[in-house]
Structure 1
């Protein structure tokens, strides 16, 4: 395994920190709602940076290192997209205004990068000391793959309620409302926490739990710590922009969990085979290595890319995915219009998006429209949104929808 010099490590870390600072000062510091063009532009910039970095690894480190980096980056990026489902549920559960979501996501990315760096160093130390750790990593991934197959995605989803969130809710007593993206505000003459801090802790803590699956996955593709770190870092750097680019499509990726399950199972098997090849566990083959065929990294990369392409194409072509996208978007827009957003201009924009999604619902095949009509909670939510809009139009607080 080719070693990376300390100078390269320092320059890489400085470059990643520089990208994070650039993201904060030029995009996140001033609260705003990123438009599709802005999100698409900066997503492409971060993906291009990651690809160019990989090309540099391939040129200066050789084809093996290059293939390992790209396999790790693609896998981590796919897992990150799956994590966006949870972010979407969390931000909706905490009713975070759209303009303030960027700061929450960037905070989560920084916490995740720090936590995963710690896990990477720990994982590398364990691998160097205990060859049997590959068996454990492989088992973790196989169990995770099984859990993904058992998950039910009905388009509604329950927000996560892990131990970090429960502890944060218990010990962080906050005001009832947000004050922009501030962490503290004044209420009744006292300085109090806002819900913004609570949601940041929830996102950051949930991100740390995600690392328990993603770090074993990338160690299954490469044991080069530099490649593990950089592939993980670049997959996280563009996550905020990616969220605003594809959040309307997230619900449509109905088969993503199956694709990820296949990928994690493949890497889990790869880890177990590698563990057998390096075996020194006394009760397995008398502590001697087992002659098995290992899965080459190039094959792993090809399978990972192929599975993801099939998964995404099948999801986008699926009528079920189209139905779930429209239902989830209508529910989200109605909830934002009623309970979250306060800016009149943005409320008007949300309402017009809601009308567009209702038109999409009407164009669904009859069997899906029938299922939508059976959702009493959704029907009530949409009716309340229309009534509220009528009240706001009558009061002159927003515009009536155009006739076009």
Structure 2
């Protein structure tokens, strides 16, 4: 896949333009978005992501198009899981609903910048050392096991981590407990203070780093093309703000989502290890020769990812619906 510098520039400008449009059209004037507004713009951004995938198919072929869609679906699913953390952070800082959009948009832009750095580092490592796939694979399997074991305790862990971050910031920066509209910094008696809105943004920015550590190895297990990795991440993050307001109440019902994500991460981890064995150059494995192992096709990867998400979502909704029916009848 040959991507010219001009294609990179145009893609980045289009993505930047969409974020700027999002800010001036929806975020600049503080307000709590309605379900209708959130639903409409969520559909718009998903539609844009699908159109870009069709463009990839038309321009570079169905193989790369399949890699993009598999990466996009995976990153979107991981992003939905991240919304749980965003809800915790917003609740911890008691961020007024009308100001949450600004925190989310800035946090998403920060996440994309951080992921861009990780993508570049990952691409350089893969090009220089094929054994990096072993590291990515084992890391994803470890992450999957940890996510499976920590099911139900993610909120507690995130709250502890966020409290540590805020404690450190407050030691070095003067802060105030009061909000000043949607300002990140305010003046009191001529002295500058950091508002809780900026503290919430710092907490989201820090967690974005942790999210990138999972998501970047995961998508490199589906494609080794940095352009597709970046585009899939960008379009997955783009509609996250609207999705936060659209499915905020639904998040509590997705009780099995973390199980599904842990399975997907483990599946991609195994896929990476198989790919590493196929491309093996490590002298202590098969004498440095390639190992004849089956490789997982992108079609199978896409089927497993979508199938797992459908099953876990349906199972979650059925379980919580049954519990609601029981509580109602009682």
TM-score with structure 1 setting the length: 0.78
Structure 2: tracts of 5 or more residues without a match: none
Comparing 12-21 and 154-163, the one that deviates more = 154-163
Q: Paired residue for 2:272?
A: 271
Q: Is residue 2:36 matched to residue 1:37?
A: yes
1:88 and 2:87 are equivalent in the alignment: yes
Equivalents in 1 of 2:166, 2:138: separation in Å?
27
CA shift, 1:321, in A, is: 7.9
User: Counterpart in 2 of 1:230?
Assistant: 231
CA distance in 2, matches of 1:321, 1:33: 31
CA distance in structure 2 between the aligned counterparts of 1:153 and 1:69, rounded to whole angstroms? 31
1:355-370 equivalent positions in 2, closer than 5 A: 363=328, 366=330
**Which residue number corresponds to residue 11 of structure 1?**
10
Deviation at 1:362, TM superposition (A): 5.6
Corresponding position of 1:252: 253
Contact persistence 2:118–2:216 (CA under 8 A): yes
Say if 1:319 and 1:4 are closer, same or farther in 2 by CA, change over 3 A. Answer: same
Alpha-carbon contact 2:38-2:243 (below 8 Å) kept: yes
Distance 2:112 2:64 in 1: 22
Quick one: structure 1 residues 205 and 361, their matched pair in 2 at CA, closer, same or farther if it must change by over 3 Å?
A: farther
Alpha-carbon shift at residue 6 of structure 1 (Å): 1.8
- 8 Å Cα contact 1:253-1:321 kept in structure 2: no
Q: What root-mean-square deviation, in Å, do the aligned CA atoms of Structure 1 and Structure 2 show?
A: 1.8
Asked which structure has the greater RCO (Cα within 8 Å, sep 6+), the reply is: 2
1:121-140 equivalence runs, <5 A: 121-140=120-139
Cα distance between partner residues in 2 of 1:134 and 1:158: 29
- CA offset at residue 153 of structure 1? 1.8
Compared CA separation, residues 191 and 361, structure 1 to 2 (3 A): farther
- Residue pairs, 1:4-403, within 5 angstroms: 4-153=3-152, 157=156, 159-162=158-161, 164-319=165-320, 323=324, 363=328, 366=330
Distance 1:230 1:298, change over 3 A: same
Following superposition, the deviation at residue 157 of structure 1 comes to 4.6
Unaligned runs of 5+ in 1: 324-359, 367-404
CA distance in 2, matches of 1:203, 1:175: 19
**Cα 1:320–1:153 shift into 2, 3 Å:** farther
Partner Cα separation in structure 2 for residue 281 and residue 177 of structure 1: 57
Q: Distance in 2 between matches of 1:237 and 1:291?
A: 40
TM superposition shift of 1:161: 3.4
Structure-2 separation of matches of 1:263 and 1:28: 34
Secondary structure at the residue paired with 1:279?
coil
Distance 1:89 1:20, change over 3 A: same
**Shift in Å, 1:44:** 0.3
Offset at 1:3?
Answer: 1.1
Aligned partners of 1:318, 1:157: CA distance in 2, in Å? Answer: 23
Alpha-carbon offset, residue 158 of structure 1? 5.5
Alignment check: 8 A CA contact 1:54 1:66 kept = yes
> Which whole-Å deviations, capped at 9, do the CAs of 1:176-234 have from their partners, x for residues lacking one?
11111101223244332211111111111111111000000000000001000000000
Would you say the 8 A contact 1:137–1:271 is kept in 2?
yes
